[in-house]
Chain A
Amino acid sequence: MYTPHTPEERQAMLRAIGVERIEDLFVDVPAKYRYPKMNLPPAMTEMEATAQMQSLAEANEQVGKDLISFLGAGAYHHYVPAVVDHILRRGEFYTAYTPYQPEVSQGTLHAIFEYQSLMCALTGMEVANASMYDGATAVAEAVNMAYHVFRGKRPKAVLAPSLHPQYIATTLTYYGHSDREVVIPEEGPTAEPDVVLKYVDDRTSLVMVQYPDFFGRMYDFTELAQAVHERGALFGVAVNPMALGLFKAPGEMGADIVTAEGQPLGIPLSFGGPYLGVFATRKKYVRKIAGRLVGETVDSRGQRAYVLTLTAREQHIRRARATSNICTNNALMALAATVYLGLLGKQGLRQVAELNYHKAHYAAQRIAALEGYELAFPNTPFFNEFTVKTPVPASQILQALLDEFDILGGYDLGQDYPELDHHLLIAVTEMNTREQIDLLAEALNVIARRG
């Protein structure tokens, strides 16, 4: 199908090689392994495959079409302007490999340089890499970088218990049984952020917090960052990048590393991926950073040009002593974020962030006024997501919202924290209308009164 040779051409090529049959090209494979039977469905035409994939796609209930969604918890339903995907669909971008040959890759390299600049603008940091897989693996890489900054002499990382549970889980998988220690404070998931200090000692390389945290709360980390620095460790913050359109950048608070799940910046939900891992830090740690970095230079004709730089950090040069094993990252998703931020710019990002803020606060106020419901953290600022205490288990509420109202009502925190089984995490974005929010409030009221 995607193989262009005619039988005559194949014969001509076999003759040129000096063999008779195509099977002669595989005589180096032991005969007992050769030509296994593979039980796969017969080949389909494009028409048939399209029909099959369409029927699978239609078996899903879509956010925004079939379901009203207030579900976030690390992935958010936002508007993606038409331009973003039109640029992503240019074959020159998506059918290129990693830009190893700069003379024929200036499009990708130039865009990555812009991405690095935009991520620094947003986070208040000085250097950003070309991307990582997602928000979870970016946190794991932060733990790894901090370990290398102290040359293994500070093997411990302290992760705030209010970090996304899947980010914690991923980091534990990476380093769980190695010589690294990953410590999660035992004071419970919703403890105040400075609980981490108790666990910071002279063996600690990194303290990692989240902004907003998994429960939606936002804190000014300036003092905490200072306290962590006094103990000699690095301070890392995992952010929602859209919140940074409105809120103080972690760089202003003294962060040494900022990571993010970049999905809110123009990347569709797509059932969890591909998303975008953002990783930014201070320039003094640039030789410890993982992944690709693009730097500015000139070409032989005196033109400004871009190129992968400081590659001696990476696996293809340093092998077992590389700063990380990462090779392929999520470049096309970084391009999506770049185009998205280019379009929105200074005013647009602030506007959409404020829209999220106002709608979420309207929803919080409506829900908090309902009998039986209250905000779990009424005095802590939040962005577009907040935690509600519910009169009956959150799982029951979500089931009723889905069955009776076609609403995805949020995330049942009892899934990760049994003690929070009466807690619901609700996200509201620019995609939610006032009518939808009112409907959610009414539905929650109905469900509560019925008990």
Chain B
Amino acid sequence: MAQQDVKIREPLLIELSTPGRRGVRFPEPDVPQADLPEDLVRSDLPLPEVSEVDVVRHYTRLSQYNHGVDINFYPLGSCTMKYNPKVNEDMARLPGFLNIHPLQPVETVQGALAVMYTLQEALKEITGMAGVSLQPAAGAHGELTGVLIIREYHRSRGDTKRNKILVPDSAHGTNPASSAMSGMRVVEIPSDKRGNIDLEKLKAECDDTLAGLMITNPNTLGLFEEHIEEVVQAVHEAGGLVYGDGANLNALLGIARFGDMGFDVVHLNLHKTFSTPHGGGGPGSGPVAVAEHLVDFLPGPVVTIVDQDEEGTPIYGFTWPEKSIGRVKAFYGHFGVMVRALTYILMLGADGLRQVAEDAVLNANYLRVLLQDTYHIPYNRLCKHEFVAEGRWPDAPGIRALDISKRLMDFGFHPPTNYFPLIVHEALMIEPTETESKATLDAFIDAMKQIAREARENPELLRKAPHNTPFGRVDEVRAARQLILTWFDWA
């Protein structure tokens, strides 16, 4: 089936398949069999046929080809790959959380509503905002929700010409994409020499078509916006709203709050800041928090206290904000992720959260300072949770950030984020997080310094890296050219 010149390290399920084999059985029906509507019944179901042992070994072997936070350091910038506490996983799987249907009457799921309400309230405290919706499923989904709220706010005031969203050039790609998806026009604002948003260029765009600004603070260079007060003021004076991308909130927990800075809408990533696992690409959760004047626009339903019993215990219910933009997904959001995040917040408390931010920033600055003589750091000042170095040297021609990243794998480390933000050449975006020890950071520094030496002395070692991983460098061009996207494409 597969191409013959290719070595197969692990077969696909379909290659493990033998006709007639089964991995699980169900009981025989305890009811009479009904007639099937023959013309609607499918004639062929081309699924693999494997045993339970096959399945377990296959996926266990596959798992061993992955790098995860549980294995080693994962300094992937802007992704906040902190340790995912095991207790969170157990809590999300409590039968009382796992086996409840989203459409059960609310009186039978008061515990679940209490989880959501408590998390809403905690996120309000942490962000300094007035209202929270837990519905968005991921960060980008939260952004879309936030921009829809901004659009609806202006529309409700009859201010329909406001269709422009400003986005700094250092922003995550999801910011312009979410704005465009909401039917907004995106205008990019450059960064200044210190890595801040260019205040003059920003002011020039602050006119009566301005719907809002999407700003990440700390930004993707890991830098706190030095003119944040002027930025917020300029946007507000023009009648626009300020959207805060909370992807990098880890640096600000207990340090500063978006609400206090005058932001109107923010989203948070529970799968970054609040320790819920990333799952190899989700599920995440991207709650949206808003200031007082936008609470009525939140997607519905939200959890509120609707009554109390004789003993004063709150009774929770679902309610719809008065001018809600509507729902942004089915049901209420990623409840299982909410359980994990609430467990984390309960265990940290206010002091623990501040400790998270302090150690995240401590770790990032430690790496920055100890690597700054080896790697060029274009915006080299006090950073927050992450910093961006250049993965190139004038005296090591032909070596790129990608080569450094691949070589890091040989030391057992996951590489930093590559080629983002776009405003740094050969970017290596490094976010250590607070859960890493000094010993781990020191080992990473040693590896980075050794790689810098190798770049001059033995560049081939980098260009052909990784060497110690089960798989070597993967041919992306071939994948795009041959476009084999399923095992049916082999034929």
Contact = CB atoms under 8 A, between A and B. Distances in A.
Contacts of B489: 296
A74 B327 CA distance: 15
Given A57-B97, A103-B406, A271-B100, A134 B137 contact: yes
B281 A108 contact: yes
Nearest to A335: B280
Interface in A230-273: 244-249, 252, 261, 268-273
Contact of A381 (B8, B37, B144): B37
A98 to B, nearest CB: 4
A343 B479 contact: no
B339 A53 contact: yes
Contacts of B223: 28
Contacts of A126: 486, 488
Interface stretch (A184-192, A198-206, A308-316, A367-375): A308-316
B330 A166 contact: yes
B474 A56 contact: no
A63 interface: yes
Contacts of B353: 38, 40
B394 interface: no
A91 B485 contact: no
Given A90-B60, A93-B66, A134-B329, A41 B346 contact: yes
Contact of A35 (B21, B32, B255): B255
Contact of A29 (B14, B27, B256, B339): B256
B125 A39 contact: yes
Nearest to A343: B23
Interface stretch (B70-78, B198-206, B235-243, B446-454): B70-78
A67 to B, nearest CB: 7
A350 B362 CA distance: 56
Contacts of A354: 29, 36
Interface in A170-189: 170, 172-180
Contacts of B81: 95, 97
Contacts of A298: 6, 474-475, 478
Contact of A333 (B79, B283, B350): B283
Interface string B112-137: 10110000001001101000000001
B215 to A, nearest CB: 15
Given A28-B224, A273-B336, A319-B177, A128 B101 contact: no
B68 A93 contact: yes
Interface stretch (B287-295, B304-312, B364-372): B364-372
Nearest to A133: B137
B443 interface: no
A57 B256 contact: no
Max chain A Cβ within 10 angstroms of own Cβ: one of B101, B336, B420 = B101
A444 interface: no
A271 B109 contact: yes
B46 A93 contact: no
B210 to A, nearest CB: 16
A121 B487 CA distance: 10
Given A35-B254, A164-B330, A274-B283, A299 B473 contact: yes
Interface in A28-82: 28-30, 32-46, 49-50, 52-67, 69, 71, 73-75, 77, 79, 81
Contacts of B179: 320
Interface string B6-45: 1111101110010011111111011111101101111001
A285 interface: no
Interface in B333-370: 333-337, 339, 342-343, 345-356, 358-359, 361-363, 365-366, 369-370
Contact of B488 (A62, A101, A120, A177): A120
A414 interface: no
B67 A60 contact: no
Which of B62, B90, B333, B483 is the most central at the interface, judged by chain A CB atoms within 10 Å of its CB? Answer: B62
Contacts of B98: 268-270
Contacts of A449: none
B281 A13 contact: no
A244 B43 CA distance: 11
A46 B178 contact: no
Contacts of B95: 57, 62, 65
Contacts of A439: none
Contacts of B178: 325
B267 to A, nearest CB: 12
A13 B362 contact: yes
B345 A40 contact: yes
B68 A95 contact: yes
A346 B45 contact: yes
A321 B180 CA distance: 7
Nearest to A430: B26
Contacts of B437: 4-5, 9
A359 B27 CA distance: 12
Given A43-B349, A56-B114, A273-B332, A324 B181 contact: yes
B466 interface: yes
A345 B13 CA distance: 10
A215 interface: no
Contact of A315 (B64, B177, B365): B177
B347 to A, nearest CB: 5
B278 A96 contact: yes
Given A102-B471, A173-B326, A272-B333, A60 B283 contact: no
Contacts of B47: 118, 121-122, 341, 344-346, 349
Given A61-B109, A270-B335, A103 B471 contact: yes
Contacts of A91: 68-71
Given A247-B40, A344-B24, A309 B476 contact: yes
Contact of B473 (A12, A103, A122, A344): A103
Interface string A305-343: 111011000111111111011111111110100110111
Contact of B479 (A29, A65, A307, A317): A307
Nearest to A173: B326
Contact of A96 (B66, B126, B224): B66
Contacts of A218: 37, 40
Contacts of B284: 328
B63 A93 contact: yes
- Of B223, B349, B354, chain A has the most CB atoms within 10 Å of the CB of B349
Given A44-B346, A273-B334, A343-B24, A27 B382 contact: yes
Nearest to B333: A273
Interface string A118-140: 10111000111011011111000
B85 A106 contact: no
Nearest to B39: A220
Interface string B364-404: 01100110000000000110000000000000000000000
Q: Which 8 A/B pairs are nearest by Cβ-Cβ distance?
A: A272-B331, A57-B96, A91-B70, A272-B102, A59-B111, A43-B349, A332-B279, A331-B281
Given A29-B256, A297-B478, 16 more contacts: A2-B434, A27-B382, A29-B255, A30-B228, A35-B255, A39-B125, A177-B155, A249-B42, A270-B336, A273-B331, A318-B177, A321-B180, A328-B140, A331-B282, A345-B50, A434-B31
17 contacts: A13-B362, A22-B358, A25-B361, A40-B345, A49-B346, A101-B414, A105-B67, A117-B12, A133-B283, A166-B331, A170-B328, A272-B102, A273-B336, A302-B7, A303-B8, A330-B137, A343-B24
